[in-house]
Structures are given as structure tokens and as C-alpha cells.
Structure 1
Amino acid sequence: MNSFATIILAAGKGTRMKSDLHKVLHPIAGRPMLDHLMASAGELKPAHTVVVVGAGREQLENALGDRARTCLQEPQLGTGHAVQQAQDALAGFSGDVLILYGDVPFVRPATMQSMLDRLHQPDAPAVVVLGFEPDDALQYGRVIADAEGRITKMVEFKDASAEERACTLCNSGLMAARSEDLFDLLARVGNDNAQGEYYLVDIVNVANADGRRSAVVTTDDPAEVAGINSRKELADAERQWQEFRRDEAMADGVSLKAPETVFFSWDTKLGRDVTIEPNVVFGPGVTVADNATIRAFSHLEGASVGEFASVGPYARLRPGTVLEESAKVGNFVEIKNATMGKGAKASHLTYLGDAKIGADANIGAGTITCNYDGYFKHQTVIGERAFIGSNSSLIAPVNIGADAIVAAGSAVSRDVDAGELRMVRAEQLVKPGWADRFHDTMKKKKAARRK
């Protein structure tokens, strides 16, 4: 495979998004759309990645870190002008260049590879264009090509004749060229057009004028090259991604009871024979092992769910949660930065934060770990087979030994030894007849007020 570089155009203002966040940093499945694109390109191992920035430059530079080099397009005079800004960043590079768009995040690695491969076919095209045929060609630029895919002309919709507009092969904007060809062609592109801009597509027409041919590669999935310019298009992209991921999950052996109600993150990992009930949301960083069950209306983020474990319904697993084999987390239980050992149970109405719960321990309803003192977090450790009675408060830092029992309603602030019973309650006060006398007195007062 020839060495190649990617140039990603991301200098647009994204005004239709109506957001302070840069357009290409808006997330799809919890991941910025730019990162979706870079991950796909990354599978082909580019030698260089250059991102052309403009408005919101600082946001992009902070988000990219050292993963890519950035170059500034200012002023913004069209897509051809944008690609030119990357020339200095690629000085001395003699490989192929793949031109991508930061707001077109779903281009598959195989499609990118097909463009690069086409550059090195025997006819050696000067430029390779990725084309697509949508149901409605709308105002996309047109690719005029012969039956063999050799391009005779590229034209923007605003500059196209009626005959050219009748062509249904559209330009996605994505291109590939050898670096020495790309920047030579760009240097000869003019701006004599309806917008007064330097169009990237015109490098094809310049090559044609030189007597060189360019070629089009057509994607079989127009959704692959859909751009995102508005909140609606962002929602459409989210829906597209989720539908694909749900189908993929079911094909891999996951049971989804109501697929359209389950939402995955870009990095959700699911084992075989996992069952997911309706209205479940996965945030980033979740792994679910074989034969686990995620019941309805649960939310998981940054959590690991072991084999045969059960979550929910109405459970929330926050980052740092680990459920080991056959552990159970029931309804209205929230867990954060805590490990539930093999077979441990917290069946309902419980908060467990910064805790380690041993195998087969039972956590009663209404139990909470009091892990924060207003300044620092502290840990609670519960031993194997320990039984924590309902409505208990475990005031961290505290250790509950193996086989220990904490009586219901206890507020435990000191360690409990293994096998010990700990009951921390105020002595019950009994006053016979007091309630009857109270009710009589209050009824008389109420009656007097009505008079």
C-alpha cells in the first residue's frame, strides 16, 4: 500500500447548527463526528493527518491535541483554497492525499481505500472523485462521466446547464490525488464562478485541460457521504448510526426486545446471549459479558457487567462500576465507582458509591454508602456473605467483615468485625395512650376553629 496523507476540511462556521460548539465536535453516539471520521481513516494508517481549521480554531486544536496537525484557512475562499492551506504542512511528502470533510463522518475505510487504489490503476487518473447517486439529486454538484467512470467534467449545481443537472451522479466532495498533482492543479484553479470561490472540484477540469483524465468511484450507500449541517441532520445521523449498531448487535447474538428504544455508545461492547429490554441507554465505556441481562429503563456509563449479571429495571450504573459474575442490581439502584462481587445483590432503592462489596453479600433496600464528607471521597468495604439490613447508612471510611450482619435502620460509622451483628439505633420510647390523647386534643381544636 502506498503511503498517504489525509486532509480534513473543518474550517466552516457551521452557522446552521446555532451552537457555540464547533460543528464537527458535536457528538454522534457520544463521540465527536470528527473523531468518527478520523477513526475510520486511522484504520488505513495515514502517514500524516492535517485538519484545516478556521472559525472555532481553538476548540478544534484543544480537541485534537497531538493527533493531527492543523492549518488555518483565513479568509475562507472555498474548498480549493482550504486544501491549499495544507500544502506547507505536507511539504516534502510525495505520497497520495485523501481529502475528507469533518462534517461527513461515516465514510467507510473500504471506500477510502477504493479511492486510493483507483489512483494506481493502469490509466493513472490525475484525480479520483467519490461519487454517489441519491434518490433526489437536489443541488449537489454533478459528475459528468462516461461508462468507464472517466470524468469529462465536474460542475457545481449553480453553474450547471439544464442538461448537466439532469445527470444523477453527484459529487460527494471527497477526492484523492498524488500530492505533486494535487497542489500543482490547485495552483491553477480560478474563481470565475457564481460564488467567486476557488472550488476543489475544478482540479478535475484543470487536469482535463492538460489532457489528463480523472476517474469517479461510486459508493453504493449514499448515506455514507451525508453531510451534517444542522441539528436535524445531526439527529438523522444519530438515528442512522443507532440503526446500524442495533442490527450489528443482533447479528452478533444480542437479544433486543424493542430495538428502536435502545441507544448505544460508539464504544459499547456486548457479549453473546446478552438480553437488553426496552428503553436502555448506554453511555461511553460500557462492557457487557455473555448471558447478562439489562432490564428496562436502565442507564449505564463507564461500567463493566459480568457474565450472568442482571441490571435493573430502572438502574443506573455510573463510571467505575464493576459487576462480577451473577451479581444483581435491581430497581432504583445507583452505583458509582464500586465493585459488586460474584453473586452479590443490591435489589432495590440503594446507592453504593466508592465501595467494594464481597461475593454473595446482600444489600438491603434503602441502604446508602455515605462516601463524601464535603471535601473527600471515602471507601466502604463489605465482606463476603455480609448482610446489610434495609435503610442502613454506612458512613465511610468503614469496613464490614465477612458474614457480618448490620441490623436494619443502623447508621454504622465504625468497622464491623467478621461474623458480628451491629445494631445502631436509638432506644425506642413508648408512651401508652399518648397518641389517643393527641388525636382528641387536635380534633377539638379543629372543631373550635370551624365555629
Structure 2
Amino acid sequence: MSGGTSLTIVLAAGEGIRMRSSLPKVLHPVANQSLLAHVLMASPKGEGASLAVVVGPDHRAVIEEARRYRPDVETFVQHDRKGTAHAVLAAREAMARGADDLIIAFGDTPLISSATFDRLRSALKQGASLAVLGFEAADPTGYGRLLVENGRLIAIREQADASAAERAVTLCNAGIMAFDGRKALSIIEKIGNANSKGEYYLTDAVTIVRDLGLEAVVIKTSEDEVRGINTKAQLAEAEQVMQAKLRKAALDAGVTLIAPETVYLAADTTFGNDVTIEPFVVIGPGVSIADGAVVHSFSHIVQASIGKNASIGPYARLRPGTSLGEGAKIGNFVETKAATLEAGVKINHLSYVGDAHVGANANIGAGTITCNYDGFSKHKTEIGSGAFVGTNSSLVAPVKIGKGAYIGSGSVITRDVPDDAMAVERNQQTNREGGAKRYREIKTRAKTQK
């Protein structure tokens, strides 16, 4: 949504005790991206948009995560836990600068969309002073109910305080709100703590807005979009919803997913045209797959770039730093890491290529290993274009295999091989006539004597 200035405050101070984890709740991942990152990426951005995140004490990792995804973010610390309104006021400094719109979001709602934030802001533009995000709950038990009269929000009633008739209401509070930014600070500062817990609840803003003769409205969304995460079970449920969303987006973009429910995608996966993904493929963060590429079953890919018409798997593992050129082929039980493979390279089966650069149209035979680690440091292997590396070869880095060079099967290569040279490193074969027969006889007698 363009026009006007906005401030988004994301509340991310929760410890996530029910997650049974030392990791702050908002750093748990859905689709290989933290809960917080999903919310930050959906929040308004660009000219006129500012962002603040409220964190708990000693949550340095949360601050670093926020800055990684939104370098423009300001962070504030909520030292004492006295309710949601108190948390918002931790960012008072940012609020006091003024903005046309103020959005209050939560760092544990990873399915929220930028379109929903835009709809909240649109309600303000149409004259509301407060827009509250709501949803029709399949089971409203435990949620605050949104009480509406003549299209206007009159109150948010917590279940403990609700009458029988109010408990029958299924329109529930999602927690996310948008305020007229010119009035937001004065409204939130009026919120008191005259309740059993002595806390400052943001939901009381509805009553204050009404008492001031201002307008409060409800913007509806789906229950899935506003799923909050408090337990590992809820995290798993959100993952299912997110994966279904990502798969649908991929299918709508023309990706062929043969068995969509078996494919796991990351939030940042990008696809070209006419890509095919076979069943039981896992794609982690930082993966791009270009036009015409095929990823065969049971492959695992993380932080890798796959070129046009490349073929991956089955049972391939592409680790971070892998880059495949056009028409490259990675076969079954091949692992790559920090490796650039240019156009037409073939590694058909049972090989490891790490910390390497492989030139165009080189062929790497089965069982080949780039021995990149000496126990202290990583070293690089360079293989020239058109080179052929025979089966069961070990290339001990640092080493260079020249263009068009040929490595004989079973070789251990420790020295550079010039262009168009042939390198063979293996002991001379010895045949002992009758040796196998004698060996069997010795073993049989020994077994009988036992």
C-alpha cells in the first residue's frame, strides 16, 4: 500500500517457555525462516515505512535476526513484563516521532501477509481510528471475542468476562491492530492496569477509542493466517499450513510437483519456468532453480543455485555454496559443497565434490572424492573443462587437473596434472596362480579343526 507514513511495532519479547527450548520463541523456524523473519518481511517497507521490534532482556540473537532481514529496524527492550500495551510503549520513542499509521504485530504469527497489513491501513484511511484484525474461529474457546454493532467494534471481551451470549460469538481477536498514528500514543497511554493481573492490555484500546467518540472496526481474515505459536505442536501445524501455501504458489507459477504433499520448500525458494520436482524432495533456504531443471526424488538441497536444464538426483545432496551450470547432471548418491560446476558437467553417482571448481563438460566418475580437508584447513580442487576423472579416484587438494586431462581409475592424485595429460597412480597388479584355491583350503582346515 502506497501513500502516507507508517510505523510497525513487532512484539517479540516472549521467552516461549511452552516451546521447551532455550531458543527464543520468535527464532524457531517455519519453512526454514524464523517466525520473526516472516512477520518482518510482510510488514510495510519502502519509503515512509519504519519498523521497530520490542525484545526481551538479553535477546541479542533476536536483535541480530531482525537486522538481518530488515537493516532499517529499530529495537527496544521490554525489561518488565506488564502486558501488551506496556510492551508497545517500550517503543514510545519511535511512536513519538509520529506516523500516519501505527501497526501492532506479533513476532510469532508467521503466516500473516502484507496484503492483510494493507487492508488494516486502508481501514484507517477510510476514517477509522482503530482497526482490529479478527477471524471466525472453529472453536472460539480461550479467545477474546470481538463484539460488533452496526458494523462497528464496541468491545473485546475476554472469555473469563464474557456472558453466555458473548461466549457464543465466534468472531475472535487475532491481536494485531492498526491505529491512526496521530492519535495512537495518547490512546495507548490511557490504558490502565485495573485488572486481576495488574497488567496493561492493548485490547482496552477499543473502549478508550469508543469513549473518545472515535471509530473502531474489525478487518476479517482466515484463522490460519493469524495462527500464533506457543508450542512445538503449534509450530508443526503452522509448518503444514505454510508448506501448503508455498506448494500452491509453486504450482500456480507453473512448477510441476508430482506429489506436492511430499515436497518441502523454503520461504525463499525461487523457480524458473518448466521446473519439475519429483516426490520426497527437501529444499532448504537459499535455493534457486532455473528453467527446465529436474530434481529427482529423495534429494536434499540447501543454499544452492541450479542452472537451466540441470538434473539432480535421485538421492543427491547439494550443500551450501553449490552452483550448477546449464545442463549439469548430479546423479544418485552424489554430494556437493562449495562447488561450482559449469555447463554440462556430469557427476553421475557415488561421489563427493567439495571446495571445487569443475570446468564445462568435465566428467567425474563414480566413487570420486575431492579430499578437501587435511584435518586443519580446507583446500580447493580445480578441474579443467573437458577433463575426465576415472572411477574411484581421490583428488588430494590443493590440486589442479588441467583442461582435457584424463585421470585413470583408482588413482590418488596429489600433484597438478597439465592440460591434456593422462595421470595414473596405482600399484602394479600381481596375480598369484592358484592362490585363491590355496587360501580357501587353509581357511577350511582351520575352521574344521575348531
State whether TM-score is above 0.5: yes
* Residues 44 and 117 in structure 2, CA contact (< 8 A), matched pair in contact too: no
**Which secondary structure does the structure 1 equivalent of 2:43 belong to?**
helix
**Which secondary structure does the structure 2 equivalent of 1:201 belong to?**
helix
1:44-63 equivalences under 5 Å are: 47-54=49-56, 57-63=59-65
| Bigger Cα displacement from structure 2, 2-11 vs 18-27 | 2-11
**Which secondary structure does the structure 1 equivalent of 2:440 belong to?**
helix
Aligned twin of 1:132:
135
C-alpha deviation, 1:46, in angstroms? 5.6
C-alpha deviation, 1:45, in angstroms? 5.3
RMSD: 1.7
Residues 434, 398 of structure 1: alpha-carbon distance in 2 compared, 3 angstrom cutoff: same
1:78-157 equivalences under 5 Å are: 78-121=83-126, 124-147=127-150, 149-157=151-159
Aligned twin of 2:181:
179
Matched, 1:69 2:88: no
Structure 2 letter corresponding to 1:302 = Q
| Bigger Cα displacement from structure 2, 261-270 vs 87-96 | 87-96
Q: Structure 1 CA distance, aligned partners of 2:266 and 2:419?
A: 41
After TM superposition, the score normalised by the length of structure 2 is 0.94
Aligned twin of 1:38:
40
After TM superposition, the score normalised by the length of structure 1 is 0.94
Structure 2 letter corresponding to 1:309 = A
* Residues 22 and 56 in structure 1, CA contact (< 8 A), matched pair in contact too: no
C-alpha deviation, 1:193, in angstroms? 3.1
Residues 131, 445 of structure 1: alpha-carbon distance in 2 compared, 3 angstrom cutoff: closer
For this pair of structures, how many residues does the alignment match? 445
Structure 2 letter corresponding to 1:336 = K
Q: Structure 1 CA distance, aligned partners of 2:257 and 2:356?
A: 31
Q: Structure 1 CA distance, aligned partners of 2:152 and 2:237?
A: 33
**Which secondary structure does the structure 2 equivalent of 1:136 belong to?**
coil
**Which secondary structure does the structure 1 equivalent of 2:205 belong to?**
helix
Aligned twin of 1:253:
254
Aligned twin of 2:282:
281
C-alpha deviation, 1:67, in angstroms? 4.2
* Residues 95 and 179 in structure 1, CA contact (< 8 A), matched pair in contact too: yes
Aligned twin of 1:350:
351
1:295-306 equivalences under 5 Å are: 295-306=296-307
**Which secondary structure does the structure 2 equivalent of 1:39 belong to?**
helix
Percent identity reads 46
Residues 58, 361 of structure 1: alpha-carbon distance in 2 compared, 3 angstrom cutoff: closer
1:344-383 equivalences under 5 Å are: 344-383=345-384
| Bigger Cα displacement from structure 2, 171-180 vs 295-304 | 171-180
Matched, 1:222 2:223: yes
1:193-204 equivalences under 5 Å are: 193-204=195-206
**Which secondary structure does the structure 1 equivalent of 2:26 belong to?**
helix
Residues 167, 363 of structure 1: alpha-carbon distance in 2 compared, 3 angstrom cutoff: same
Aligned twin of 2:435:
434
Residues 35, 426 of structure 1: alpha-carbon distance in 2 compared, 3 angstrom cutoff: same
C-alpha deviation, 1:333, in angstroms? 0.5
Structure 1 unaligned blocks of 5 or more: none
